[in-house]
Chains A and B, each alone.
Chain A
Amino acid sequence: MRLTDEEKRMLAGEQGEALRLSLEVLTRIGEVYGAERLVSVSSVHASCMYPDFGAAVDILEKFRDLGGKFQTVTTVNPTVNPDNVNRWADLPEPPELKSASTRQMSAIRSMGVIPNWSCTPYFQGNLPRVGECVSWIESSAVIFANSVLGARTNRTTMGIDVASAIAGRAPEFGLLLDGDRAGNVLVKVEFEPQTMFDFNTIGYIIGKACSGKVPVIEGLPAWTTANHLKVMGAAAATRGGLALYHAVGITPEAPTRRKAFRGKSPEFDISIKKKDLKGALDDMNTIKKGGVQAVLVGCPHPRVNEIKELTELLDGKKVREDIKFCLFISSDVLNFSRQMGYIDVLEACGVRLFEGDCIVFHNVNKWGWKNVATNSAKYACTLPSGPYYLGVLYTDIKGCVDLATK
C-alpha cells in the first residue's frame, strides 16, 4: 500500500501506540484486499459486539489502555444496558454480563464515542452525504448508509471499527470504490406495498433471492420513506448478507435503471408479487408448538411515528400477565416520545422499555422463553438460530398488540 508521510509516521509509532496499532490493523486488512491506499473516513459506527465474549471486552480496553481517542464522529450500537437489567429483575442476567457490559461502555466512552447506543445512527446525527467514505458496523446500518444515503462503507468487523475511528481512515477497497457499487440483479416489485410490515417482508424476499448481490429494485412507490427503507434493508441484510441495493427513483445512485447498473446488464431478474408475501411469512413463522412468552418490538430501533402507532393500538388495553412486551428504543426517540405523552401510556399498558438495548445480547433461554412474536423480519431471521433457538411468530404491529392483549 502507498502510505502518506503522516501515515508512515503513525505506523512507526511516532504519534503513540494506539495510532500505531490502528494503522497496523488497517494496512494489513488493506493488503489482503488489494487496497492501494487508506482514505479518510468522516464517521464510524462501532459496536461492543457480545459483552459475554471476553475478547469483545479485551479489544476495547486494549485500544483504550494504549491511549486511543476517536478522531472521527463515532456512534455505537446497542448493548446490554445495566439499567434495563436492574429494572426488569424478573428477566435476570448473570452479574458477569452486567459487569462486562459496564466495562465495555466505560472503555468506549473514554475514547470519545457519541453514546447513542442504537442501530440507527443515521437518525442520531451520524449522517454522511452521498459519496462520503465511512466505516460502519451493524448490517442494517451498513446497508442503509450505502443504499439510502449513498455513503460508502464495507461490512466492517470487530476491532476494525475502532481502529478506523482512532486513525480516521479506512483501507480503500470493495464498496468504497465505484466498481463494486454497480447493480447486478434486477428486482421488480409488481404490487404497491402498503405498510412497514410489507417493506419488512419484501426485504426478506430480496435477501433470500439475491444473497451476496447488489439488487436494483424497481416499483417502490414514490411515497417510500427512509423508515420504510430502514426495515426493508435490515431484513435483506440479515437474510442475504446484502450491503447495498439501489431503488430506482428512490435512492441516490439510482436516478434511472441504467445508472444503477452503471452500464452493465443484470445477471438475472426476479419479480415480487403480492402473493409472494405469504410464502415469506410461512418461512419466518417457525413456532412448532405452544404459546408465545414475549412480544419483541423495536428492531431496528423505531422512530417516533412508530411509537405513536404502537401507543394508539395499545391505548386502553393491558398486556397479558403471561406475556412480556419488550420495546427496544434509542434514547432520543424515548425522550421525544415521553414528551409527547406516549411513554406514559405504553408503561401504563405494561410495555417494558429497553433503552439502548437489543434482545440479541440477552440470555433468553434462561428466562424460559420458547416462542416470541415480532414485527421485525430481522428478528424473525435471527432468533430461531443459536444461541436463542426461539420459535417466532412474524406478524405486523397490530398482530403483536392483539396477541399480547387478547
Chain B
Amino acid sequence: MEKIVIKGRGITSGVAEGEAMVTKEAFGFSHGLEPYTGRINDEYHEWLGQNARGKVLVFPYGKGSTSGGLYILESVKHGNAPAAVINVEVDPVIAGGFIMAKVLYGKEIPVVDRLERNPTDVIKPGDRVRVDANKGVVEVYR
C-alpha cells in the first residue's frame, strides 16, 4: 500500500479517517449538503447525489451564503457530517461552522488547509485519508 504524507495547517482540532470525495469545484454547505441525510443536493455541483456522511471532503474553496455554518452544525447535530474537510484555503463560513461544532456539540471534525501540495491533485476519489488537524497533517493511503 502506498502512503503519502502532506503537511498543512490545522484549522480545528481532532483526528479522523475516511474515504475521500474529491472535486476541483468550490463547494458550499448552504443549499449544498442536506443536513438530515448527508446527501449533496447542490443542483449545479458534480457531487450531486453523493453522500458526504463520514467522508473526507476534498475541495478547493467554500462558496455561497453565510448560513453555511448553520448547515454544518445541523448536519453534525443529526450525525450526517463529513469525517473531515481538506481545502486549498478555508473560508470563514466553513471554519466558523466546524469551530462552533466543537463548542456546541463537543464534536471534533478536523479541517486542514494550505497543504504543501494541492490536495485536489494529490488525493483521488476513494483514497483512504487520515486527517490530523492537531498537527496539520494529512496521510493518504491507496
Contact = CB atoms under 8 A, between A and B. Distances in A.
B28 to A, nearest CB: 10
Contacts of B39: none
Nearest to B68: A157
Contact of B70 (A53, A156, A386): A53
Interface of A: 21, 24-25, 28-29, 32-33, 49-50, 53-56, 58-59, 62, 137, 139, 154-160, 241, 385-387
A55 B74 contact: yes
Given A56-B70, A59-B73, A28 B99 contact: yes
A386 B76 CA distance: 21
Nearest to A138: B66
A157 B93 contact: yes
Interface in B97-116: 97, 99-100, 103-105
A159 B96 contact: yes
B92 A62 contact: no
A159 B66 contact: no
Contacts of B38: none
B134 interface: no
Contacts, number: 85
Given A21-B103, A53-B73, A158-B73, 7 more contacts: A25-B100, A29-B95, A55-B70, A55-B73, A59-B104, A157-B93, A158-B66
B60 interface: no
Contacts of B92: 29, 32-33, 154-155, 157
A137 B66 contact: yes
B77 A55 contact: yes
A31 to B, nearest CB: 9
A115 B2 CA distance: 58
Contacts of B93: 155, 157
Contact of A155 (B31, B35, B43, B66): B66
Contacts of A25: 99-100, 103
Interface in B47-82: 64-71, 73-74, 76-77
A49 B73 CA distance: 12
A157 B66 contact: yes
Contact of A50 (B43, B70, B99, B105): B70
Nearest to A62: B104
B96 to A, nearest CB: 4
Given A55-B74, A157-B93, A386 B41 contact: yes
Interface string B4-37: 0000000110000000000000000001000100
A21 to B, nearest CB: 6
Contacts of A158: 66-67, 69-70, 73, 96-97, 100
Nearest to A387: B31
A4 B43 CA distance: 47
Contacts of A137: 66
Nearest to B100: A159
Contacts of A55: 70, 73-74, 76-77, 104
